[in-house]
């Protein structure tokens, strides 16, 4: 049952387009979740670090500009949003057993309660994952595209 006066804490960071952006995002997320004013929350800090790292890494690898990380802690949930300048849909791809990359969205989907993509009117897109205490596979919605370009949705 939600508390009648539960606080919502938000923070936003502009991350540079460098390979160290994911490192900074993980550190900033750890500091944010460790703040005294966040109180006791059920969000697993390690899960949050993996989700943030994967989403920021995708934004850096597949776009040409800085990305924005937005964290919002509310009612025992953490919303992680990463905005980038590319309008391109996310394209999960099949990964072979020997591949060293390509599993990021699958990891995020396994750790998050929801995962969605929103095309922003001002350009680019925002990928949002919500974490909480319930570790069921994510409900995936929004701008995901299959290899053939068609949009896939799971409700």
Mean pLDDT over the full length of the chain: 81
Do 56 and 21 meet the contact criterion of CB atoms below 8 Å apart? yes
Give the pLDDT band of residue 142 (cuts 50, 70, 90). low
CATH 3.40.50.1110 assigned to domain 9-142? The reply is no
Task: Say if residues 87 and 117 touch (Cβ distance below 8 Å).
Answer: no
Please state the pTM of the whole predicted model. 0.80
CA distance to 4, 15, 60, per residue, from 83 (Å): 31, 10, 11
pLDDT at residue 155 in the model:
34
CA distances, 56 to each of 7, 13, 24, 35 (Å): 26, 11, 10, 22
Report yes or no: 54 and 26 within 8 Å, Cβ to Cβ: no
pLDDT-derived band of residue 149, with 50, 70 and 90 as boundaries? very low
The residue ranges of every structural domain in the chain are 9-142
Q: What's the token pair of residue 3?
A: 């508390």
What's the pLDDT at 154? 38
């Amino acid at each position: 049952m939600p508390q009648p006066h539960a606080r919502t804490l938000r923070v936003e960071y502009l991350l540079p387009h460098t390979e160290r952006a994911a490192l900074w995002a993980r550190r900033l997320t750890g500091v944010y979740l460790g703040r005294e004013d966040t109180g006791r929350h059920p969000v697993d800090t390690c899960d949050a670090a993996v989700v943030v790292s994967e989403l920021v890494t995708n934004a850096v690898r597949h776009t040409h500009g800085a990305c924005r990380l937005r964290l919002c802690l509310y009612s025992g949930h953490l919303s992680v949003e990463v905005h980038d300048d590319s309008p391109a849909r996310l394209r999960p791809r099949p990964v072979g057993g020997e591949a060293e990359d390509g599993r990021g969205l699958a990891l995020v989907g396994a750790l998050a309660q929801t995962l969605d993509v929103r095309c922003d009117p001002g350009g680019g897109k925002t990928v949002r994952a919500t974490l909480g205490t319930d570790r069921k596979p994510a409900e995936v919605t929004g701008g995901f595209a299959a290899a053939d370009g068609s949009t896939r949705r799971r409700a």
